[in-house]
Amino acid sequence: MRDLMRLPGARLVLHAAIAIGAWLALTWVNGAVDPLMNYYIALVAMYATAMFGMVILVGLSGQVSLGNGALMAVGGYVFALTTLNWQTIPFTVIPMNGIWAMLFAAVGGVLFGLLIGVLGARLSGPYLAGLTLGIAVGIPAIANRFPELLGGETGLQLTVPYPDGGYAPVVEEVDQQFVEELPTGQDELPTGQDPLASDGSGDLLTSDNFPSGDASVAPDDLLTSDNFPSGDASVAPDDLLTSDNFPSGDASVAPDDLLTSDNFPSATPDASALPLDPGSTDVSGVDVSGVDVGFVLERWQASLAVAVACIVGFLALNLVRGRQGRAWRAVRDDPVAAAVSGISPARSKVSAFVVSSLFAALAGAVFAQILAYVGPGAFGLGLSLSLLVGIVLGGRSSLVGAVIGAVLLVWLPEFVLSLSNDRGWEEQVTNNAPNLIYGLLVVLVVLVAPGGIVGTLQALVGKVVRRARKAG
């Protein structure tokens, strides 16, 4: 096995096998569970995508960044703006679709990452953390600066680009659960953050320019999992997004399967395409038994998030376990020694920023599609802190740790909610309990087990193996 791995390209093949295996497994799971579970899978995959970048930036490159939530905002807003405003790609006749929008989001993320990275590469420790903290607070505030373009406090609604053959049911309720799991979200709704954010400036603020009017608007328009339309719950497991008819390939979710200019969100949805319409026999939402099952938005969102997470995970695996990963670690551990060995510390730090912001932007574009909304509240400081919490708990420099952290971020609030339903806790206790646990756990992990869950397990396994060797 070891000899086999020495073959050129063997590692690439192995990593591809891991990514494709994960994708196949998750796609199968996705087809077998109910929409609520699809929604959780989508969230986990979205978090994991962003946290792969955090592992590279914080874990490998040693740069503590709080800006990745803001970089997700860049991805989300670019995605929203391009899908909302462009029918075709500018200067061409190529019709816009979800894939193109995600590519634009990626480009936006790379550019921003380059900018922050060049600025941040000169900085270390608390200076970098402070600068990225400012970015996490400042970038979402830009949305308020351009209310016409970016929707201001209210944010932008968008219809998720969906594949041919079905129309997403329009669900317009706030997702209370998601809101609760943002660490600084407290029990406020997403946009609650920014009017408060202005408080710091104290008397700079006058009642005329205080944007309070908008605060209550956006949350109600978000997507929910709580009041999920009951019609979808009965959907048969094997409908249009199972591995058979899932757009072939992973990256190659074929453009025509996504949105084309014909069925672009702005166009009125064809009545026959609505999932609950019995007459929709011409759409692909008909399973073998001939029963109309329609299109499940959550399943589509989960498939998309999983596909993106697997592609990003494949890239991250190659980077982390390759030459670049060694360079990042070398610069983190001893910049002088790394420089002497011919690695440019500055270039290495900037590249970590660019890679992580590329991943963050893709995650942001996925997040925009999960929420069907982008707004300053959804991408606030809380999101950045969540990402940090996730990788610290999972294991700062481990990609597996990122996945574990992502699961924790989604699972813990649900767990607390179910506990609270059993014990009848007050709402403000339930809403804040996850963050209290996160905060205490982060401190505890840093003090006691800096390697997080994965690092601790590795250390334990290593100890057991060594003891076994000694004994044997």
Q: State which of residues 20, 119, 286, 400 lies at the interface with another protein (CB under 8 A).
A: 119
Instruction: Estimate to the nearest angstrom the gap between the alpha carbon of 173 and the chain centroid.
Output: 20
Near another protein in 408-447, by CB under 8 A: 428-429, 431-436, 438-443, 446-447
Stretch that binds another protein, among 160-168, 314-322, 377-385, 458-466 (CB under 8 A): 377-385
Of 14 and 119, CB closest to another protein: 119
Element (H, E) at 374: strand 373-374
**For residues 138 and 249, which CB has a smaller minimum distance to another protein in the complex?**
138
Nearer to another protein, 291 or 446 (CB): 446
Q: Which of residues 211-230 bind another protein (CB under 8 A)?
A: 211
* Cβ at position 344, least distance to another protein in Å: 9
- Greatest distance between any 2 Cα atoms in the chain: 78
Q: CA distances (Å), 240 to each of 122, 127, 236, 244, 247, in order? A: 50, 50, 10, 8, 10
- Choose the stretch contacting another protein; rule: CB under 8 A; options: 19-27, 91-99, 209-217, 408-416: 209-217
Question: CA-to-CA distance for 181 and 412, rounded, in angstroms?
Answer: 9
Q: Choose which of 345, 375, 390, 405 interacts with another protein (CB under 8 A).
A: 345
Q: Mask 54-83, x = binds another protein (CB under 8 A)?
A: ----x---x-x-x-----------------
- Contact present, 157 and 214 (Cβ < 8 Å): no
CB of 123 to another protein, least distance (A): 6
Choose which of 339, 400, 414, 415 interacts with another protein (CB under 8 A): 339
Taking the complex as a whole, how short is the minimal distance between the CB of residue 434 and another protein, in angstroms? 8
Q: Which two tokens stand for residue 344?
A: 């440019």
Nearer to another protein, 183 or 294 (CB): 183
Q: Rounded CA gap, 81 and 158, in Å? A: 9
With beta carbons less than 8 A apart as the criterion, state whether 132 and 65 touch: yes
The answer to whether the CB of 215 falls within 8 A of the CB of 192 is yes
Q: Considering only residues 150, 158, 315, 392, which one is a binding residue for another protein as defined by CB under 8 A?
A: 392
Count of residues of this chain found to bind another protein when the rule CB under 8 A is applied: 72
**For residue 74, what are the CA distances in angstroms to 27, 266, 323, 375?**
28, 23, 29, 11
Residue 288-327 contact track with another protein, rule CB under 8 A, x = bound: ----------------------------------------
CB of 366 to another protein, least distance (A): 24
Burial per residue of 78-102, b for 16 or more beta-carbon CB atoms within 10 angstroms, e otherwise: bbbbbbbebeebeeeeebbbbbbbb
Residue closer to another protein, measured from CB, 49 or 193: 193
Q: What is the b/e burial string over 332-364, where b = at least 16 CB atoms within 10 angstroms of the residue's CB?
A: beebeebeeeebebeebbbbbbbbbbbbbbbbb
**Near another protein in 168-207, by CB under 8 A:** 183-184, 186-188, 192-193, 196-206
